[in-house]
Amino acid sequence: MSPWNGVLPAITTAFNADLSIDHGAVRAHVNWLVSRGCTGIIPCGSLGEGATLSLEEKVALMRTVVGAVKVPVIPGIAALSTAEAVRLAKAAEDAGCAGLMVLPPYVYSSDWREMKAHMAAVLRATKLPCLLYNNPVAYRTDFTPAHLAELAAEFDNAAAVKESSTDARRVTGIRALLGDRLALGVGVDDCLVEGVEAGARFWVAGLVNAFPDESVRLYDLAMAGKKEAAFALYRWFLPLLRLDTVTKFVQLIKLVQQEMGWGHERVRAPRLELVGPEREECLRVLREALANRPAL
């Protein structure tokens, strides 16, 4: 099964009251997502609060997800140092993961020579197919189509790109330069329809954690070219999908999950649970969406 198709939830990480990982809740959640049509699972990403998880916790989380589902598991590989990213990549392969989502360093950001060296070290460390994660908004590192072409030319296991620049033109730019060499995916929730129209073929999604039925349906309609139906569902979904594109996206999505009966709004510091007007506005958006929720 190719991991580069369909809806791939970047899952939140469920925490117990003491903020240890709630592995039982994780197992139940990923099973539910797969039962609703999701085609893979991505733990340890930004939405999964990967920056607050130790290496040991990440490996334990990977093993929990691999043991829970039969679809590809593609963990985020992100670390402060290249050496730790390499250790994490090797551990993911040992844990039975099907691929890796490789991030640039998320604190130190410099020039392409250094960023390429980091990515190359991870790609050399594993035989698994790798999803190259471009998110200049969050990480201040921009993998241009030319940069992606360099990695694709040198590493056979550079297999796909998660394009999260929020610019749908990047998808067409990558296609123009690389053809079908890299599978293309949309990495922000509120650019799915535009990305598919430009040539993307999978969706690394966030609000899917609470709304898998609508997410899978939207993806299917977009891929089938049913534009009118896709935009009707998209129009309803966009206020929720936009929660994925702001600084407190983790808190917002976890709150929505909690309200929908899947998970808890607990987050690890430095994040704090939402309070006051921010929390009320999120709940207002959710209430309005539920009041007008379309039949699928």
Q: Would residue 26 count as lying in a domain?
A: yes
Catalytic hit among 58, 106, 139, 162: 162
Q: Would residue 14 count as lying in a domain?
A: yes
Distance separating alpha carbons of residues 115 and 265, to the nearest angstrom: 34
Catalytic hit among 58, 106, 133, 139: 133
Q: Which range marks the domain in which residue 174 is found?
A: 6-226
Catalytic residue status for 106: no
For residue 167, the domain's CATH number is: 3.20.20.70
Name residue, tokens 């139940």.
28
Q: Are 119 and 102 in contact (CB under 8 A)?
A: yes
pTM of the model: 0.96
Name residue, tokens 């990558």.
174
Q: Which runs of consecutive H residues, i.e. helices, occur in the chain?
A: 23-35, 55-68, 82-94, 112-124, 136-139, 145-154, 169-178, 192-198, 212-223, 227-241, 249-259, 276-291
Q: Would residue 75 count as lying in a domain?
A: yes
Residue 296 has pLDDT above 80, yes or no: yes
Catalytic residue status for 108: no
How many structural domains are present in the chain? 1
Q: Would residue 245 count as lying in a domain?
A: no
Q: Would residue 234 count as lying in a domain?
A: no
24-69 pLDDT, tens per residue? 999 999 999 999 999 999 999 999 999 999 999 999 999 999 999 9
Q: Would residue 181 count as lying in a domain?
A: yes
Running DSSP on this structure, what letter comes out for residue 158? E
Q: Tell me how long the chain is.
A: 296
Instruction: Give me the pLDDT at residue 1, please.
Output: 65
At 72, list the tokens. Answer: 């590809």
Using DSSP, state whether 161 is helix, strand or coil: strand
Q: Would residue 276 count as lying in a domain?
A: no
Q: Would residue 290 count as lying in a domain?
A: no
Q: Are 160 and 131 in contact (CB under 8 A)?
A: yes
